[in-house]
Amino acid sequence: MDRALSYSSGTSQTPLLGDTIGANLDATVARVPGGEALVDRPAGRRWTYAELAADVDALALGLGTLGIGKGDRVGIWAPNCAEWVLTQYATARIGAICVNINPAYRVRELEFVLNQSGTALLVAAQRLKTSDYAAMIEEVRPRCPGLAHVVLLGSPQWRSLLETGRSMDRAALDAIPLDTDDPINIQYTSGTTGFPKGATLSHHNILNNGFFVGELCHYTHADRICIPVPFYHCFGMVMGNLAATSHGACMVIPAPAFDPVATLDTVQAERCTSLYGVPTMFIAELNVPSFAEYDLSSLRTGIMAGSPCPVEVMKQVMTRMSMPEVSICYGMTETSPVSTQTRSDDSVDRRVSTVGRVGPHLEVKVIDPATGMTAPRGAPGELCTRGYSVMLGYWQQPDKTAEAIDAARWMHTGDLAVMDSDGYLAITGRIKDMVIRGGENIYPREVEEFLYTHPDILDAQVIGVPDPAYGEELMAWVRLRPGAPPLTAEALRSFCSGRLAHYKIPRYIHVVDEFPMTVTGKVRKVEMRERALEILGLDRANRVQEPPESGGNTTR
């Protein structure tokens, strides 16, 4: 392909792994049996690799006594805890398909996922904060005919599964015929309309992705990875857990759900060398009042991913958090998840302005959304990726699979990107987030990056709202730094004037304490656009009635 086109492939001297997840864990145990594998700090529990493998095998055998075998779906509905990790590896050991269920789901979503996936066994927490999981399960269970078993964490039945498994012959596990291309995991994407889709992933998909992400972070058995991102998402269970176990590193759980103070406490106490998070998590950690008192000198690397990473935040993470090798990763659930990653020897500019280069053994290209042709380098278009990481498909939804993966097995991401002459990619936004104002295409990411330079703005998100004259206008939602004076739309426009093209200057500003978020820390722009209609009094005939916005103010 012409070198001037936006195409790149990832070469590597290291071959792809041909193992199953269980076989790979066995190999790690053989190398570092006494190495620390898992620390559940809130529960005060620790496992060496030998101990972790023993408990994984015991749970796998225990699941077999319930009739769970290869291909059966086992749901896991719980916050981050050691039992989540055991379930992840135990299901892989017997070839059952682990169905990750978002801890934020409620009755309607839980019922859909259990029935759509055909889950036979649900492993669940009893409760978390105000969420009574046990009660919700009892409510949906009569409407889920395929759900044969429910095991609550900490219950006598959970303990019995492990105790029974410990008394059984491990050789039974080795007799199970497993293949690396078997489906092993279903992860439901957070759908913005209708119900989510179940991305179906294999041993080969997620084991290799976790391994190569870890390779680019230079992980060894000496590394200790603090994982505050949720296990139910690829960021936690693949980039965190599988990156760790494929290198003999230690998985460290700081809290059941994200807590910035608990995260900093854990990094300091456990001498973690790597820290993960989405940008909003790092922003929260940097703004902990006692941040300067923490000793974070053990850190060297980490991963920031999940949503566009503000340049200023990235710079602070590298300096104030002692993470000079921090890596930016880009991906999506359907690609296991990582497609591109920055390298530790990349310049600071590369690491704060791009999402890196294509990963080993993968391909990426940028296409013109209108024609499908590969775009010239430097031209914006839709990012597509191909290779070992692309999902098997959406569970029992071949029509949706065909919409996302074309005949040549390219996964269409829906993200807008630009590839430079050296193959580095910059994500400029979502195709659906692009704002067209009076015929001008505006990419919100560019405006957001500029707003971060305002001395009083802590975080910013930009959306398009309807306008009768221009079709769309820009609205900025901002979070202000503690103690900052009120910020009006007029003052913000004055700050932008002469530094942004006039059509890129937000017409509206809405100041909030928090953005609407998913449980993984991604900003829900769909919800922001819905709320904006109410806030601005737009489209009164069609808008959805919602309660008043709390903790914010809006100016025009």
Q: What pLDDT is recorded for position 549?
A: 30
Q: What pLDDT is recorded for position 430?
A: 80
DSSP state of 87: H
CA angle, corner 411, sides to 410 and 413, nearest 5?
135
Phi, psi of 339 (to 5 degrees): -110, -35
Burial classification of residue 288, based on how many CB atoms lie within 10 Å of its CB (0-12 exposed, 13-18 middle, 19 or more buried) = middle
Q: What pLDDT is recorded for position 47?
A: 98
Same domain for 203 and 333, yes or no, is yes
Same domain for 49 and 132, yes or no, is yes
Q: How far apart are CA 97 and CA 200, in angstroms?
A: 9
The one-letter amino acid code at 183 reads P
Same domain for 357 and 318, yes or no, is yes
Give the domain-ending residue among 394, 419, 444. 419
Same domain for 354 and 282, yes or no, is yes
Same domain for 352 and 253, yes or no, is yes
Same domain for 446 and 409, yes or no, is no
Omega of the bond prior to 337 within 30 degrees of 0, cis? Answer: yes
Q: What pLDDT is recorded for position 522?
A: 79
Give the domain-ending residue among 371, 395, 419. 419
Domain range spanning residue 397? 7-419
Same domain for 439 and 403, yes or no, is no
Q: What pLDDT is recorded for position 542?
A: 35
In order, the DSSP letters of 158-219 are HHHHHHHHHTS-THHHHTS---TTSEEEEEE---SSSS--EEEEEHHHHHHHHHHHHHHTT-
Same domain for 412 and 439, yes or no, is no
Give the domain-ending residue among 384, 419, 454. 419
Same domain for 72 and 160, yes or no, is yes
* Domain count along the chain: 2
Same domain for 403 and 478, yes or no, is no
Q: What pLDDT is recorded for position 428?
A: 83
Residue 222 lies in a domain: yes
Residue 277, domain CATH: 3.40.50.12780
Same domain for 275 and 302, yes or no, is yes
Residue 428 lies in a domain: no
Residue 470, domain CATH: 3.30.300.30
Q: What pLDDT is recorded for position 409?
A: 98
CA angle, corner 333, sides to 331 and 337, nearest 5?
45
Q: What pLDDT is recorded for position 540?
A: 42
Residue 426 lies in a domain: no
Per-block mean pLDDT, blocks of 10 residues, the chain (556 long): 83 97 98 98 98 98 98 98 98 98 89 96 94 95 98 97 97 96 92 71 98 98 97 96 98 97 98 94 95 98 84 90 96 96 91 93 95 96 97 97 96 95 91 81 85 95 90 94 94 92 92 87 88 84 31 43
Same domain for 155 and 293, yes or no, is yes
User: Minimal CA–CA distance to 422: which of 361, 367, 311, 340?
Assistant: 340
Q: Are 479 and 284 in contact (CB under 8 A)?
A: no
In order, the DSSP letters of 118-151 are TEEEEEE-S-BTTB-HHHHHHHHGGG-TT--EEE
Q: What pLDDT is recorded for position 342?
A: 96
Residue 424 lies in a domain: no
Residue 427 lies in a domain: no
